[in-house]
């Protein structure tokens, strides 16, 4: 796919959104970006902190969903069972978590601007599904063949064919994500090729810094 780098929203670092469906290799791609010197905002890691022991999201979650919070933090299995069988519950949970993640994101960007970082990346699993495309200058989707995605996913603890089917149903198709992205990063052709493609993306993005 031709790379389309069409946005510069403001002065500061170029904001790269890194996304991809389950088990496509996004985590590995994010690790490569860190190795290349790019600061990466990991949305999942922020959520784990917010819902871990002493996390700032816990009081509101406990008030809305009694019984899912303990001194060890959020019981993810209990919460998943509730949220993914009840759309209203999922909406309410997102209403608690998303503003806190947004605040963490803004702090990250302010720090990056002060450091005069040329490019920063956001590791966002549901970037397109969450309608957040406009806040990124560049979006790169990590992709792999469906059979490889399934092999990787089923190696994860607690994953099953049925559960994977449900996850896929809630996510935008890989084909659609590739059509919407500015750049496509393959993860099924070996790590060397993944790294090469990421370097290409960064080379172009770094020429568009607002500083």
Domains annotated on the chain, with CATH: 12-38+117-211 (3.40.50.300), 45-116 (no CATH)
Short-list 74, 82, 84, CA closest to 51: 74
What is the β-pairing status of strands 183-186 and 73-74? unpaired
pLDDT score for 1 = 40
Predicted structure pTM score: 0.83
| Spacing of C-alpha 199 from chain mean position | 19
| Cβ partners under 8 Å of residue 46, min gap 6 | 100, 101, 104
Least confident range from 29-38, 79-88, 185-194: namely 79-88
In angstroms, rounded to a whole number, what is the distance separating the alpha carbons of residues 57 and 186? 35
pLDDT score for 131 = 73
| Cβ partners under 8 Å of residue 72, min gap 6 | 53
In angstroms, rounded to a whole number, what is the distance separating the alpha carbons of residues 178 and 185? 9
Structure confidence at residue 132 as a pLDDT band (50, 70, 90): confident
The tokens describing 194, both together, are 């993944």
| Highest-pLDDT range among 2-16, 41-55, 194-208 | 41-55
In angstroms, rounded to a whole number, what is the distance separating the alpha carbons of residues 203 and 177? 22
pLDDT score for 209 = 64
């Amino acid at each position: 796919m031709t790379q389309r780098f069409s946005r510069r929203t403001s002065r500061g670092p170029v904001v790269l959104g890194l996304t991809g469906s389950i088990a496509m290799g996004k985590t590995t791609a994010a690790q490569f970006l860190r190795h290349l010197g790019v600061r990466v905002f990991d949305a999942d890691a922020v959520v784990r902190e917010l819902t871990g022991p002493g996390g700032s999201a816990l009081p509101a979650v406990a008030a809305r969903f009694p019984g899912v919070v303990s001194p060890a933090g959020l019981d993810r299995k209990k919460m998943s069972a509730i949220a993914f069988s009840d759309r209203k519950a999922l909406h309410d949970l997102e209403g608690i978590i998303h503003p806190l993640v947004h605040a963490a994101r803004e702090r990250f960007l302010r720090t990056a601007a002060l450091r005069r970082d040329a490019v920063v990346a956001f590791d966002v699993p549901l970037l397109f599904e969450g309608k957040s495309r406009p806040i990124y200058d560049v979006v790169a989707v990590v992709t792999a063949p469906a059979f490889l995605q399934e092999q990787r996913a089923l190696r994860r603890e607690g994953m099953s064919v049925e559960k994977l089917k449900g996850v896929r149903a809630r996510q935008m198709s890989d084909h659609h994500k590739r059509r919407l992205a500015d750049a496509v990063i393959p993860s099924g052709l070996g790590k060397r090729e993944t790294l090469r493609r990421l370097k290409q993306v960064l080379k172009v993005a770094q020429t568009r810094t607002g500083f």
